[in-house]
Chain A
Amino acid sequence: MMSFMKGRVLVVDDDSALAEMLGIVLRGEGFEPSFVADGDKALAAFRETKPDLVLLDLMLPGRDGIEVCRLIRAESGVPIVMLTAKSDTVDVVVGLESGADDYIVKPFKPKELVARIRARLRRSEEPAPEQLAIGDLVIDVAGHSVKRDGQSIALTPLEFDLLVALARKPWQVFTREVLLEQVWGYRHAADTRLVNVHVQRLRSKVEKDPEKPEIVVTVRGVGYKAGPS
């Protein structure tokens, strides 16, 4: 639905030099960046600019990045990529659990950043009409909806992609690396914590009992697969 747009990116970062540099790089790649430096104003700016993607620094004055991420996620499924200086597990996991789709650790290369942004925006291309079933869920790929007994379940685009990837090949066990490549668009292996956190988030939404998953099943020592239909 947004394929005709080149991509509006909202940059939430308090470091003006970095924000400016990001602006230079993003504009160079043909994106339309807008900036906000304060966590408190981030939500208002988000509503105003309606970006296609949010670049969010975790350390912000006012509301911190985690909180901003949660607020944005509460009202929109728009892709959020976190910029973080901390690669510690706790920080990353907290950020991902608050709703970010992907993260990128400072210092990063401009190409890396652009690749991540492109990967997140890529899915806006028109999908073919397709009906999938996984467990007792019915997935309408083109309509971007997941239903259980006619009841629709709200998923973010990333969670939807993850579910579709698993549902398309229910016979296959996906390693975390394969999922990273297919869903996140990483060309070489990256942090598998991304997968773990998002599988958990997905389970909390689609499983009847997230403690005993039936839709997204863990295959010990290998990865995940779709539960039997």
Chain B
Amino acid sequence: MSGDSAASAPGRSGGRPGRPVGRKVTGSGWGRLFEGGLLEGGVQGSPVIRLFMRWVRRPLLPVMRLWRRNIQLKVVVTTLLMSLGVVLLLGFVVIGQVRNGLLDAKVKASQSQATGGFAVAKQQADEDVSVTGDEDTAPDGSPSQSVIQWMSDLVASLSSGGQGAFDVVTLPAGGESGSGRGPRASGEVNPTVSVPADLRERIDSSTAAAQSYTRVVYNDDKESQPALVIGKQVNDPNGDPYQLYYLFPLTQEEKSLSLVKTTLATAGLFVVVLLGAIAWLVVRQVVTPVRMAAGIAERLSAGRLQERMKVTGEDDIARLGEAFNKMAQNLQLKISQLEDLSRMQRRFVSDVSHELRTPLTTVRMAADVIHEAREDFDPVTARSAELLADQLDRFESLLADLLEISRFDAGAAALEAEPIDLREVVRRVVSGAEPLAERKGTHIRIVGDQQPVVAEADARRVERVLRNLVVNAVEHGEGKDVVVKLAAAGGAVAVAVRDYGVGLKPGEATRVFSRFWRADPARARTTGGTGLGLSIALEDARLHGGWLQAWGEPGGGSQFRLTLPRTADEPLRGSPIPLEPKDSRRNRGLDDAGLPRGGDGEKSATVPVRQPGADGSGRDPFPLPPTAVTPTADPTALPGNGARVVARSGSASGSTRMTPGALGEGPAPLGGGGDDAAARRPAEDAGNPEGTAGSDGTGGYGATRGAERNGEASRGR
């Protein structure tokens, strides 16, 4: 999962930075043209090509981003491309038609001209047959000198009619060329090159006239020109066939056509540019309000609820604006209603507080005065005075807790975080709880206070939480030791309060934080707690962005862990102290797996094996072996926090073992085999984060998982 998000991150990040909503078009149009095929089409092929493509793509990335984000640019470019296509198509059609029309006219005129010319040539040949007779015919059949002269005259006379409008060419029929009837042409036309070969063949093979397009090539420096050539096979006075061609240069038509082309191109360009501009303007009309709406929505969500769109007219955009404004107004109304409600609730709490507290103060003082003087009363009245004073204490604390929790409910609780050293707080709390501990015969130990444990926190609230935890631990600790452990690692600090008393039944680890919840309703309420202490503590922890979690096993004691982020706005990722203590029965069960005394014996034991001094026989001030005194950074702490950490490191035991080092903490002095087993636990969790580990079957485990999950759930706020 994390791999996916990591892979997709760069692509997404490309779109995020900056918001070039109003930025103008940068980069070349070619880039945009390429973009579709060249850049987005996956380039298959050798890695070299791919590398090259990447190199080409890099400078174009901003352009692509702009393309993705700017609808105006998209519309304008699309309009430009499409209108360009339409204009080109139109241009080709129009130009084609104009050319056809021009040529048709030219061809008709040329044909009539040529037909006339052919007729003249035929007529002259017929006339001259009688004149020249047979006398000029050479015996070998080759044309006589007179025929050659006749032909030259013919070409001259035919071409004289249209000086510049056409030229006349004669070519010998068939392939023959050796005879004196060589090619002739008027007006410096190169006769053999100007007449296409296929036309000559066609004319050879039939007596009808034929035509074709060609280029006239001149013998002098004159440039060659497109032309229409019409030819026919005619006979000379001797009755021998020759080919007579009329060449009509198309210069005029060419000029007309190019004029039309230029005109069309200019017009087309104008049309395209104008269409682009129109598209830009039109899109702007739509996009501007949309952008305004987006900007205002952003400001609304940033809390400026009075922001509204400007609405002009009655069109769809105006309707959008109106609907938007109506939405914003309703939103503002609802929010202010909720705020009012919260404010009313807060004022109510405050008023109740004041109204209740003033008479309570008088009662309190009166009760104290009476209580002071109780020795002068008769026993019944004296006892009544004592009860009055005691129950007033209880009433006061209940009232205070109720007001406190309703302050949380009303969202009126404010955090006053400043850097504090939790060791100071812990020492104050412990010294405050000493009298109670002495009465209960409990010894409170502080572990892990060699180094400062500093976090940005509200000292008053943290102290309240810890006082609650320590007092609870002492009260439910059945006279056994209470260990308060401090640690800091990564971005978190933690205080865990461990007792070895009655512990918690499965499922109770989550319920201890419920309001007015009591572990055993049948048990006498000797200590007079309000039943709200842990609920308030949980709210206090949440206010810090921290966690308050419980772990416990029946008869094996419990551990409450408060984890706070080192800085107030930093989210918690893990806790420096594992929720389930190392000396829990489950962990010790793993330790002692090879020992003759199996797990069953362990489970029934009410006394922690690794707590030799805590077995009720006496008060050992240092019951734990020295190796168990944890360093400030517990090596197994973060992995012990379970699935969350495992998901981050993404693999099993190998990397979880690395975690303490990766956190930048000092060398982790792992203890004996027990610590090793504790370090192995996360690996198990990694493989089976939701697993039930039913094989070992301790009741405490269910509670642990429950508490972990509860912790996960409570982190959301």
Residues of A in contact with B (beta carbons under 8 Å apart): 15, 17-18, 21-22, 24-25, 28, 59, 83, 85-86, 88-90, 106-111, 175, 177, 188-189, 191-193, 220-222
Contacts and interface: CB of A to CB of B under 8 A. Distances in A.
Nearest to B364: A107
B130 interface: no
A107 B357 contact: yes
A188 B357 contact: no
A92 to B, nearest CB: 11
B416 interface: yes
B354 A86 contact: yes
Interface string B574-606: 000000000000000000000000000000000
Given A106-B358, A221-B454, 18 more contacts: A15-B358, A15-B359, A25-B369, A28-B369, A83-B361, A88-B350, A89-B416, A90-B414, A106-B360, A107-B396, A175-B424, A177-B424, A177-B428, A188-B432, A189-B428, A192-B459, A221-B418, A221-B452
User: Which of B358, B363, B416 has most A Cβ within 10 Å?
Assistant: B358
A88 B407 contact: yes
Nearest to A18: B362
A95 to B, nearest CB: 14
Given A88-B412, A220-B419, A221-B454, A109 B407 contact: no
Contacts of A222: 421
Given A15-B358, A110-B365, A85 B353 contact: yes
Contacts of B363: 107
B416 A221 contact: no
B368 interface: yes
Most chain B CB inside 10 Å of its own CB: which residue of A89, A107, A189: A107
Interface string B410-438: 00101010111100100010001000000
B460 A21 contact: no
A24 B360 contact: no
Contacts of A175: 424
Contact of B369 (A89, A110, A189, A192): A110
A192 B364 CA distance: 25
Contact of A85 (B354, B364, B366, B432): B354
Contacts, number: 72
Interface in B343-399: 350, 353-354, 357-366, 368-369, 396
B373 to A, nearest CB: 10
Contact of A17 (B359, B414, B428, B454): B359
Contact of B368 (A18, A83, A90, A110): A110
12 contacts: A17-B362, A18-B358, A18-B362, A21-B362, A25-B369, A59-B354, A83-B361, A88-B412, A108-B361, A110-B369, A221-B420, A221-B421
B361 A192 contact: no
Contacts of B354: 59, 85-86
A188 B414 CA distance: 24
A24 B414 CA distance: 37
A220 B420 CA distance: 8
Contacts of A191: 460
Contacts of B428: 177, 189
Contact of B353 (A18, A86, A189, A192): A86
Contacts of B421: 221-222
Contacts of B454: 221
A109 B359 contact: no
A192 to B, nearest CB: 6
B590 to A, nearest CB: 39
Nearest to B459: A192
Contact of A221 (B357, B396, B419): B419
A109 B368 contact: yes
Given A86-B354, A88-B407, A106-B360, A22 B365 contact: yes
A194 to B, nearest CB: 12
Contacts of B366: 21
B453 to A, nearest CB: 11
Contact of A192 (B396, B407, B460): B460
Contacts of A188: 432
B365 A25 contact: yes
Contacts of A177: 424, 428
A129 B396 CA distance: 46
Nearest to A193: B416
A175 B421 CA distance: 11
B357 A106 contact: yes
A84 to B, nearest CB: 9
A191 B461 CA distance: 11
Contacts of B412: 88
A48 to B, nearest CB: 26
Contacts of A193: 416
A107 B353 CA distance: 10
A24 B369 contact: yes
Given A89-B414, A192-B459, A18 B420 contact: no
Contacts of B368: 109-111
Contacts of A108: 361, 364
Q: Which 8 A-B pairs have the closest CB atoms?
A: A221-B419, A85-B354, A106-B357, A85-B357, A107-B361, A106-B361, A107-B360, A107-B364
A151 to B, nearest CB: 33
In this complex, the member of B365, B414, B432 whose beta carbon has the largest number of chain A beta carbons within 10 angstroms is B365
B432 A21 contact: no
A216 to B, nearest CB: 16
A125 B561 CA distance: 48
A88 to B, nearest CB: 7
Interface in B36-76: none
A184 to B, nearest CB: 16
A110 B424 CA distance: 29
Nearest to A19: B362
A100 B360 CA distance: 23
Nearest to B392: A107
Nearest to B403: A87
A152 to B, nearest CB: 33
Interface string B330-353: 000000000000000000001001
A47 to B, nearest CB: 27
Nearest to B463: A189
Contacts of B361: 18, 21, 83, 106-108
A106 B378 CA distance: 31
B566 to A, nearest CB: 11
A106 B452 CA distance: 36
A31 B421 CA distance: 41
Nearest to B363: A107
A222 B418 CA distance: 10
Contacts of A24: 365, 369
Interface in B73-113: none
A110 B373 CA distance: 14
A218 to B, nearest CB: 9
Contacts of A111: 368
Contacts of B369: 24-25, 28, 110
Contacts of A89: 414, 416
A191 B416 CA distance: 12
A73 B454 CA distance: 38
Nearest to B454: A221
A28 B432 CA distance: 30
B460 A85 contact: no
A192 B463 CA distance: 12
Contacts of A86: 350, 353-354
A105 B452 CA distance: 33
Contacts of A106: 357-358, 360-361
Contacts of A17: 359, 362
Nearest to A108: B361
Contacts of B452: 221
A37 to B, nearest CB: 13
A85 B358 contact: yes
B122 to A, nearest CB: 118
Given A15-B358, A221-B420, A221-B421, A109 B350 contact: no
Nearest to B353: A85
A205 to B, nearest CB: 23
